[in-house]
Each structure stands twice: as structure tokens, then as C-alpha cells.
Chains A and B, each alone.
Chain A
């Protein structure tokens, strides 16, 4: 069982005002890390630069919350990319279950839902480090026939300088998320 609770970054609700979450008063620097994408290419903090990234953590055997989030984000990305072509938006999924989520499994998963998404896996220590940096909680729940995870399902908005700019609630409607992300990328 992995259990991580860390004090979150200082949040300020004053600006910009978001409906589905909170923007950080002072963007939080992402720590250095090294993971692999579904094509087995190394992915580091630098790969967050020069684009906006919608980042979330999950596992591919998650039957409800993770695919719902993917669905919302990929719908939104299509719309925003059409309307604001100059805003490059990437969706990045980081697995909390590197044991089962190999690069091959992630490749199959991304192709199934949205092949433009980036899926990251790697050493558990790297995943733990990054999740602690973003105050992501996760806990493995063992069952007689396998295991699931309780996990933070927030959507993190990473700015073009690889800093955490905002974190959004996973239960927000597609419309609210879309409006907030438009606000953040057109700032």
C-alpha cells in the first residue's frame, strides 16, 4: 500500500476565477522526473514546456472515473483546438499502477480512447515523487480477485513553463471545465 498525503500548494481564488477548481496564486514548479510514454519514449518535465497540459492520474483498469475524465478531456480538446488553433493542448495520463500498466498496455488503452493522448508509466518511485509534488493521494485496495485504487482524480493544468497553474475538480461538468480551460489557455 502506498499512502501519500502532503500539504497542498497555496491556493488563491481571486484570479483568475474558475468555476471548476482553483488557480494557484503562484504557479508551482514541477519537479524533475523521468517516465516513459506509450511509445516507450522518455518523458521528462521539459516535455511539458511550450504547450498547455491537462494532466491526471489513474489506472487503466479503472472502470468509471478515469474513462469519464478521458472522455470529457478529449471532447474538450477537440473543441478548443478548433476554436483556438494557436493554443496547443496536450492530455497526459499518468498511471498509478505501473505493475499492470506497461507501455504496451498504455498504447492499447490510448489507442482505444484517444490516440492523441499521452500515457505515462515507469518506476513507482518516479510516480510517487511526482504525485507527492502535486499532492496526489493514492491507495491500493486489494480484493480477492485483484486490486483497485482510491486516488485523487483532479485535473491539473500545467502551463507552458512546466508549472502547475490550476487544479480542477473531476466532478465538474464538461461545460464548466471547458470554460475554465479556455480562460487559462487564452490568458
Chain B
């Protein structure tokens, strides 16, 4: 566990500083879950302010074994959760990760983070001529209206 957080800190030093950050993340939150939960969902609003399509290549959530992109499909009242390869956002477009749709699935927490704490998430985005890492501090909270 200590080794993992060191690795995480190490990664922070390698974040390339692109001249302008094109990906802007707002209102990131993780749905609070009871102790012993094996996965938590993270939601946010992602804006691609750059001119070209950007796709996520890697996602790291501090304190979790791994993070994936998931989508909920509901048809005939049957809910299915599917793993997607990545999140792609066209230039000058944005995308909302919200309950009942897209979420980041944070899997196998070392310890389920408490309500009102924060989860640090690194999202790597890239296209053929640009790469960027976004560092997100997501609030752990319950759903709101």
C-alpha cells in the first residue's frame, strides 16, 4: 500500500506540462459507499477546449487498484454495465459523466474513502499531436438533486 502511494507521487512529477491545458474537468465527485464496498462510481463534467478530439489513455485513482470507464445501458428496464475502452471527446465538445450513464469505476479500494473526503484521480488524455494529464480531486459525497 505504501509502495503504491509512492508510485502515485512519483507519477505526479512526470506530468508533462503542456502549454495550454485543453481538458478541463469540473464538479468531480465519487458516490459515497459503505465500508467493504468493492467499487465506487466517479462522476464529472469534462470539457475539451482544444480544437481536436482527445481520448483518455489511462486513468489512475489513488487508493484504488484500478479505474475503468463504464457505461450503464438500460433497455426493457434491464440495467447493464459495460466497460468502454476510453472516453473520447471531440474538439470544443464536452461530456458529462453522471448517474445512469457514464462513470469512472474505481475498483478495489485499499480502504473505502469516507464521506466528505477526497479521491485523487489522474486522467491521461491524448491525440496524435498532444498529450495531457488532468489531476482531479473528487469529493466523496452522496447523490444530490
Contact = CB atoms under 8 A, between A and B. Distances in A.
Interface in B99-145: 99-100, 103, 105, 107-108, 142-143, 145
Given A108-B36, A109-B34, A171-B100, A71 B142 contact: yes
A32 interface: no
Interface stretch (B14-22, B46-54, B55-63, B74-82): B74-82
B100 A65 contact: yes
Interface stretch (B3-11, B37-45, B86-94): B37-45
Contact of B81 (A105, A137, A146, A148): A148
A169 interface: yes
Nearest to A70: B143
B82 to A, nearest CB: 9
A40 interface: no
B2 to A, nearest CB: 22
Given A61-B39, A71-B143, A174-B145, 14 more contacts: A63-B33, A64-B31, A67-B31, A67-B33, A68-B143, A71-B142, A108-B36, A112-B32, A137-B78, A146-B38, A146-B39, A150-B78, A151-B79, A154-B77
Nearest to B39: A63
Contact of A105 (B36, B39, B80): B36
B77 A64 contact: no
B1 interface: no
Interface of A: 60-61, 63-65, 67-68, 71, 75, 105, 108-109, 111-113, 137, 141, 145-146, 148, 150-154, 167, 169-171, 174
Contacts, number: 78
Nearest to B71: A64
Nearest to A109: B34
Q: Which residue among B39, B66, B107 has the maximum number of chain A CB atoms within 10 Å of its CB?
A: B39
A64 B81 contact: yes
Contact of A153 (B33, B78, B143): B78
12 contacts: A60-B34, A63-B37, A64-B41, A64-B100, A65-B79, A67-B31, A67-B33, A68-B100, A150-B80, A151-B78, A152-B78, A153-B78
A35 B80 CA distance: 26
B85 interface: no
Contacts of B39: 61, 63, 146
A60 B108 contact: no
A61 B39 CA distance: 7
A113 to B, nearest CB: 8
Contacts of B34: 60, 108-109, 111-113
B38 A108 contact: no
A61 B74 contact: no
B72 interface: yes
